[in-house]
Structure 1
Amino acid sequence: MTETETSQQTPAQAVTGMVDHTLELAATWLNWDGTLAHVDDRVYTPHKAIRRVADHLIDHLAEMEARLAGEEPQPDHWHASMVTTEADLAPFTQADLDEARSRLGRLARIWANRLDALTAEQLDHSPGEGWTFRELALHLKGSTYYADSVGDLS
């Protein structure tokens, strides 16, 4: 995608595009041989990439909803990328891909529906402390990092 196309994306398209990219790569992870992907100071696997994308979507969705309700967002307590769990090391199967498609697809729709319901004013002058909701969507777009860390295993 060119820089112009990226700048013309709606916030909802930024989030759904990130999920689409993640799931396109995940479709190649059925070939994963158990080799850990060492990126920066972390280790990534297919399961960990899916977990991190889902956690990131949930974390910022909870933040946005709390701010819209006039509440203080609850801090997250994820272990994030620092921890690789036993479950992260499991083979990535067709059933795992199906689950990821359902989970991430539904989260992307929730985000898209919420973002599309906000006015430009709400997107750019969001209540509470932190990034605007437009900036949050663009931040989430960067969650492709997790999937890109595992890469295309075709």
Structure 2
Amino acid sequence: MHTVRLVAGKGGVGKTTVASALALWEARRGRRVLLVSTDPTGALGQIFPGVGDEAREVAPGLEAVELTRRVVLARWRERFGEEVYRVLRSLLPVEREILDYLEGVPGLEEEFLLSYLLDAEASGRYDRIVWDSAPTAGTLALLEAQA
């Protein structure tokens, strides 16, 4: 059974610490775990030095990744940008700069982040995903985007 565990709350209450401890606990129980941080403070790198925007092993059975807004939007552009541009270009006289504008569309970042989590879960590489979320307001916006 695959599980995504969400650690959420106000900023500065220890979400990253709790998420990291939970992920380590799961890994030490023999599970393959992905720890994903979407907290814009980037504190995960203080616990696991070297964590970046690609999942990498930080302990036996535990991979970690920090997904900042910049990283999420760059991945969206890499995965969908050219297709979106071609469709818009077929309808309107637009240039590639339209993609810069589209990156500000409400919900785009949240939708792509949820897609990342679902892809990771569906990959079969992990038994557990522990998600260290952004502070409450950002997380609520993300969860509303899924509804």
- Calculate the TM-score normalised by the size of structure 2: 0.26
- Calculate the TM-score normalised by the size of structure 1: 0.25
Structure with greater contact order relative to length (CA < 8 Å, sep ≥ 6):
1
More helix by share: 1
